[in-house]
Amino acid sequence: MDEQDHTNTRKQKGAAAEEAAARHLIVEGYHILDRNWRCRSGELDIVACKNNVIVIVEVRSRTGDNTQFGTPAESVNARKINQVRKTAEVYLYYKQVETQDIRFDVMAVNLNKDMTVLKLEHILHAF
């Protein structure tokens, strides 16, 4: 597999995980406000709302159930948390969102090789 194939596979896995996360949120009664919202400080995977709470969801995925490199949730490190928080600040300012309750969740998705969901864990108030 060359570099391009690896990049495409990574993007496909990310897209499959984000789609599964969005579907899960909708089933749970969330309203999706934005997906893959970008600015100079970074990207927000999913911005949703439920019960007047803005929920910023960081989606992390792994293939299979192999935890050799840690679980998807464990891949959210301090640098990523800071980046998501900064990007969320820009988002809220840009969208002129009045001060509402804001929550940061992590959606940890394990995918099978065929991109179907093996396991999905929604971690509320992750950071």
Q: Could you tell me the residue range of the domain that residue 51 belongs to?
A: 3-123
Q: What is the pTM of this model?
A: 0.88
Indicate the residue type of 29.
G
Total number of domains in the chain: 1
From 21-30, 33-42, 93-102, the region with the lowest mean pLDDT = 93-102
Contacts within 8 Å (CB) and 24+ apart, 37-43 = 37/87, 37/91, 39/87, 39/90, 39/91, 39/94, 40/90, 41/83, 41/86, 41/87, 41/90, 42/83, 42/84, 42/86, 42/87, 43/87
CB 48 within 8 A of CB 34: no
Q: Which residue's structure tokens are 């934005």? A: 34
Would you give the distance in Å from CA 95 to the centre of its chain? 19
In the predicted structure, residue 6 carries a pLDDT above the cut 80: no
> What CATH number corresponds to the domain at position 70?
3.40.1350.10
In this structure, the strands spanning 53-63 and 101-111 are parallel
Average pLDDT, the chain: 90
